[in-house]
Amino acid sequence: MDLGIKGRKAIVGAASKGLGKGSAMALAEEGVDLVINARGAEALEATAREIRQKTGVKVTAIAADITTPEGRKAILAACPEPDILVTNAGGPPPGNFRTDDRARWMAALEAQLLGHVEMITAVIDGMAARNFGRIVNITSASVKMPVPNLGLSTAARMALTGFCATICREVVHKNVVINNLLPGPFDTDRLRSSSVFAAQQTGRDFETIYAERMAQNPTKRFGTAEEFGKVCAFLCSTHVGFMVAQNLLMDGGHYPGNF
CB of 200 to ligand NAP, least distance (A): 18
Nearer to ligand NAP, 120 or 176 (CB): 120
Distance CA 32, CA 59 (A): 9
CB of 88 to ligand NAP, least distance (A): 6
How deeply is 40 buried, as exposed, middle or buried, from its count of CB atoms within 10 A (0-12, 13-18, 19+)?
exposed
Nearer to ligand NAP, 90 or 133 (CB): 90
- Cα–chain center distance at 187: 15
Distance CA 222, CA 192 (A): 11
Nearer to ligand NAP, 89 or 127 (CB): 89
Nearer to ligand NAP, 175 or 246 (CB): 246
CB of 123 to ligand NAP, least distance (A): 17
Nearer to ligand NAP, 84 or 171 (CB): 84
Our CA angle for 137, 155, 75, nearest 5°, is 35
The residues binding ligand NAP (CB under 6 A) are: 14-20, 37-40, 43, 65-67, 88-91, 138, 140-141, 183, 185-186, 188-191
CB of 41 to ligand NAP, least distance (A): 8
CB of 32 to ligand NAP, least distance (A): 18
Distance CA 143, CA 182 (A): 8
CB of 24 to ligand NAP, least distance (A): 10
Going by C-beta distance under 8 Å and a sequence separation of 6 or more, which residues neighbour residue 85? 10, 11, 119, 120, 123, 133, 134, 135, 136
Other Cβ atoms less than 10 A from the Cβ of 240: the count is: 16
Other Cβ atoms less than 10 A from the Cβ of 169: the count is: 11
Nearer to ligand NAP, 138 or 176 (CB): 138
Nearest to 61 by CA among 88, 26, 24, 96: 24
Whether 223 contacts 187, CB under 8 Å: yes
